[in-house]
Amino acid sequence: METASSQVMSQSDVRKSSLLADIKSLIKVGIINSNLITAFAGFWLALHFTGASFFDKLGTFLLTMAGTALVIAGGCVINNWYDRDIDPIMTRTRQRPTVTGTIPMPVIKYSGIALSIIGFVLLLFTTLEAALFGAFGWFVYVVLYTMWSKRKYTINTVIGSFSGAVPPLIGWAAVEPGLRTEAFILFLIMFIWQTPHFLSLAMKKKDEYKEAGIPMLPVVHGFKMTKRQIVVYVACLLPLPVYLASLGSIFLIVSLLISLGWLILGLAGFIMKNDEKWATWMFVYSLNYMTIIFLMMVLVTLPFPF
């Protein structure tokens, strides 16, 4: 038989597990992880182009990753706090603590503010430029996207893309504040990538966005218009790897092939009859595209920064 003490310990473990799940939901761990990948790529390529050593910059690296993570986490927490009225409507957001009430609203709001401030301070210990890029990304996500455009305009996705494209610049500026053309190419890749990525998701979640009153492009203009927009953005990605040709022929070939593959899959959407299935394929491909292209940037430059 289970003893009283073991029952208490079991209940304690459940509460800890639930609290951890709530915290992960609030800070949006998936978003943090994906953005840290691109921030790391920016930091790494800055080392490569400046000839700096990773070990000499280890302290700066840790401050950059921690500061970037906390700024993003703070913005996400505030986003959840602000969206507490619409999150109960959408299936994927119904279990957030802002909906279930497991964490008090004032705690959520002030936690978001505190995380953001600490993140900014950590980035200030790298370079002023890195901190300013972090502040810009935070402002776009929290104010221009969450509080202004998300519930009013179909271009909310494009506006939000500015914040999602900032992490590579934060990473690069922490090493080389002056930046280079290559740093802005990383920004453009992330900026353009986000629209087809999120519009594919919006197609999958069209009914939920409609019920929540969020004017995503598929809700307002339908799937046909959305598919055209997705293909246009994917096509715009195709020439960008050429501007990173200095990374070598392997990177150039792989990046051009996966870009072309995404474009072909996008064009297939005008033939396929199952729009939601196509949107799922495009969404999954977008995740793999981002992972592969930024991983390749690091792999092809591995020997040089040391």
Q: Which residues contact 175 (CB under 8 A, 6 or more apart)?
A: 43, 46, 47, 50, 52, 57, 60
Cα angle 286, 32, 58 (rounded to 5 degrees) comes to: 110
Token pair for 235: 């096509």
d(CA 304, CA 297): 12
Q: pTM for the complete prediction?
A: 0.92
Which tokens in the block code for residue 91?
A: 């299936």
Distance linking the first and last C-alpha atoms of the chain: 59
Backbone angles phi, psi at 176, to 5 degrees: -135, 90
> What DSSP line would sit under 205-239, residue for residue?
THHHHHHHT---HHHHHHHHHHHHHHHHHHHHHTT
> pLDDT 10s digit of each residue in the chain, 306 long?
455 444 444 555 555 668 888 999 999 999 999 999 999 999 999 999 999 999 999 999 999 999 999 999 999 999 999 999 998 888 878 888 989 999 999 999 999 999 999 999 999 999 999 999 999 999 999 999 999 999 999 999 999 999 999 999 999 999 999 999 999 999 999 999 999 999 999 999 999 999 999 999 999 999 999 999 999 999 999 999 999 999 999 999 999 999 999 999 999 999 999 999 999 999 999 999 999 999 999 999 997 444
- What angle separates helix 181-204 from helix 217-237, to the nearest 10 degrees? 150
The CB density around residue 9, as the number of other CB atoms within 10 Å, is 11
> How far is Cα 302 from Cα 306, in angstroms, rounded to an integer?
8
CA 259 vs CA 137, 193, 218, 237, 289: distances in Å:
26, 10, 24, 7, 8
**What residue has token string 């502040």?**
135
Residue 155: DSSP 8-state: T
Q: Which domains does the chain have, with CATH numbers?
A: 24-299 (1.10.600)
